Amino acid sequence: MPAAVPIPADLQRRYGNSSERRAWLAGLPALVSECLQRWNLRVTLAPGQEPWNGSAGIVVPVLDDDGAPAVLKVAFPYAETLLEPVALRLWAGNGAVRLLHADEQRCAMVLERMDAGRWLHSVPMDEATAVWGSLVRQLSLVPDDRPDWAALPHIAETAERWSDDLPAEWERLGRPFDRWLLETALEVCQTRGAVGRRVAKDVLVHSDLHYMNILGRSGTDDYAAIDPQPTIGEAEFGVAPCLWNRIPDLSRTDPQPALRARCAELSSAAGLDGELARQWSIAREVDNALWYFSKPGHGGDAARSLWVASTLAGRTLDGLPTAHQLKTL
């Protein structure tokens, strides 16, 4: 029986706020231990060291049964985490972390060990843009006859749902920003939700491909994506996370044109339509802003989303912090 792996204090804080989450936390040590035995993994944590963790789960450094470095990832069963192994199987290590084993019902996976000290967040923007664009090209698989595709949601469905949900939530929250920005997002949803079902542009999209979700491959100069939130549809949907991250790197004298230029440069690097990327990013950030407004204590996050959305729409909202005063991720 392997020694119990400690549960990070940060994860315990995050998941102590509901009975469902507390129950998952309580069962996590036994689940980790079971996975270690099932896949013959050996933990490589130093004494007293906690595993890594993100917002949704735990990542334990291990050696696999051949002695190769890997990680055991066990996540809370959200819709996004349940779909992660589906996408990783489709990518098969091309542009994304390699999936070695998976128990999909329990959101447990063994993945190749990435170089956690080398991520795109700290790379100069010109280089980061080129790497990001190259990865998007690799990850943009066209659907085929493999059964895994049937499990993935379509971006057009998301847009159609937002057409109903965004105005309802805007009203429920007391109309927290100008109507024109909501209407701009709705126009995108109504247009792309319909067109997205007719055009032959469907690809597999990593919808959370920001700079911190791109790590170096150990022992190589290559990078690969981690933590996908996979969906199918127009690849331009995936540009937005790189616009709401690394805002402090924008020009201090003229950040609004710099944000719009970043959208165009990322799109060009990935061979995407910059105008579609701009439109999708507005819709995604309006959705994000409403989600943040619904959560106490997230006013700074909502302001960042509104700054990005309204700046991309060409009219930065009044009353927001300046770009370099926005809350960072």
CATH number at residue 84: 3.30.200.20
**Can you give the chain as a three-state secondary structure string?**
CCCCCCCCHHHHHHCCCCHHHHHHHHHHHHHHHHHHHHCCCEECCCCCCCCEECCCEEEEEEECCCCCEEEEEEECCCHHHHHHHHHHHHHCCCCECCEEEEEHHHCEEEEECEEEEEEHHHCCHHHHHHHHHHHHHHHCCCCCCCHHHHHCCEHHHHHHHHHHHHHHHHHHCCCCCCHHHHHHHHHHHHHHHHHCCCCCCCEEEECCCCHHHEEEECCCCCEEECCCCEEEECHHHHCCHHHHCCHHHCCCCCHHHHHHHHHHHHHHHHCCCHHHHHHHHHHHHHHHHHHHHCCCCCHHHHHHHHHHHHHHCCCCCCCCCCHHHCCCC
Residue 208 annotated as catalytic: yes
Residues 90 and 123 in one domain: no
Torsion of CA 269, 117, 139, 290, to 10 degrees: -80
Q: Is residue 231 over pLDDT 60?
A: yes
Structure confidence at residue 69 (pLDDT): 95
Domain of residue 72: give its range. Answer: 9-113
Ramachandran category for residue 271: left, alpha or beta (phi over 0 → left; psi -120 to 50 → alpha): left
Structure confidence at residue 1 (pLDDT): 44
Angle at alpha carbon of residue 211, lines to 208 and 216, rounded to 5°: 110
Residue among 297, 290, 298, 319 at smallest CA distance from 307:
319
Residues 78 and 194 in one domain: no
Compute the average pLDDT of residues 241-268: 97
Ranges 74-83, 91-100, 160-169: which has the least confidence:
74-83
Query: Looking at 55, 88, 113, which one is the last position of a domain?
Result: 113
Residues 217 and 254 in one domain: yes
Q: Is residue 294 over pLDDT 50?
A: yes
Query: Looking at 72, 87, 113, which one is the last position of a domain?
Result: 113
Residue among 155, 199, 188 at smallest CA distance from 312:
188
Structure confidence at residue 3 (pLDDT): 60
Structure confidence at residue 8 (pLDDT): 86
Residues 90 and 227 in one domain: no
Q: Is the pTM of this model over 0.75?
A: yes
User: Does 220 map to a domain?
Assistant: yes
pLDDT digits over 145-203, tens only?
999 999 999 999 999 999 999 999 999 999 999 999 999 999 999 998 876 565 568 99
Compute the average pLDDT of residues 262-267: 98
Residue in 208, 222, 249, 273 annotated catalytic = 208
Residues 153 and 240 in one domain: yes
User: Does 293 map to a domain?
Assistant: yes
End-to-end Cα separation, the chain, in angstroms: 39
User: Does 31 map to a domain?
Assistant: yes
Number of domains in the chain: 2
Residues 105 and 160 in one domain: no
Mean pLDDT of the chain, nearest integer: 93
Distance (Å, rounded) from C-alpha 84 to C-alpha 147? 15
Structure confidence at residue 195 (pLDDT): 65
Residues 214 and 313 in one domain: yes
User: Does 212 map to a domain?
Assistant: yes
Compute the average pLDDT of residues 127-155: 96
User: Does 20 map to a domain?
Assistant: yes
Compute the average pLDDT of residues 82-99: 96
Of 24 and 224, which is predicted with more confidence?
224
Residues 189 and 164 in one domain: yes
Residues 263 and 141 in one domain: yes
User: Does 4 map to a domain?
Assistant: no
Bridge partners (DSSP) listed for residue 217: 114
Percent of the chain with pLDDT over 90: 81
User: Does 3 map to a domain?
Assistant: no
Could you tell me the CATH number of the domain that includes residue 235? 3.90.1200.10
Residues 134 and 94 in one domain: no
- Cα–Cα distances in angstroms (integers) from residue 72 to residues 78, 108, 124, 230, in the given order: 18, 7, 31, 20
CB atoms within 10 A of CB 205: 26
Residues 122 and 91 in one domain: no
User: Does 274 map to a domain?
Assistant: yes
Residues 77 and 147 in one domain: no
Distance (Å, rounded) from C-alpha 235 to C-alpha 196? 11
Query: Looking at 113, 132, 160, which one is the last position of a domain?
Result: 113
Structure confidence at residue 2 (pLDDT): 55
Q: Is residue 48 over pLDDT 50?
A: yes
